[in-house]
Amino acid sequence: MLKSLALLLFVSGIVACQPKSIHKTAVTSQPAAKPAVSTAIIPVDTAAIMKRKQIPVLCYHQVRDWRPTDSKSAKDDIVQIAAFKEHIKMLADQGYHSILPDQLYDYLTTGAPLPSKPIMFTFDDTDLDQFTVAAPELKKYNFKAVYFIMTVSIGRPHYMNKAQIKQLSDEGNVIGSHTWDHHPFPKLSGKDWEIQLDKPTKKLEEITGKPVKYFAYPFGLWNKESLPELHKRGFKGAFQLSTKRYSADPLMTIRRIIDSGHWNAKNLMGNINHDF
Task: Please tell me the predicted confidence (pLDDT) of residue 23.
Answer: 32
Average pLDDT of 269-273?
A: 98
Task: Please tell me the predicted confidence (pLDDT) of residue 36.
Answer: 36
Torsion of CA 145, 263, 237, 5, to 10 degrees: 160
Partnered with residue 258 across adjacent β-strands are 59
Name, in order, each residue with C-beta under 8 angstroms of 22's C-beta and a sequence gap of 6 or more: 35
**pLDDT tens digits, one per residue of 154-187:** 999 999 999 999 999 999 999 999 999 999 999 9
With contact defined as beta carbons under 8 Å apart, do 55 and 75 qualify? no
Cα separations (Å) of 214 from 57, 96, 104? 14, 23, 11
Task: Please tell me the predicted confidence (pLDDT) of residue 85.
Answer: 98
Q: What is the pTM of this model?
A: 0.84
Of 213, 207, 210, nearest to 251 (Cα)? 213
Q: How far apart are CA 25 and CA 99, in angstroms?
A: 49
Find the helix or strand (DSSP H, E) in which 16 lies.
Answer: strand 15-18
**pLDDT tens digits, one per residue of 62-115:** 999 999 999 999 999 999 999 999 999 999 999 999 999 999 999 999 999 999
Asked whether residue 9 carries a pLDDT value surpassing 50, the answer given is no
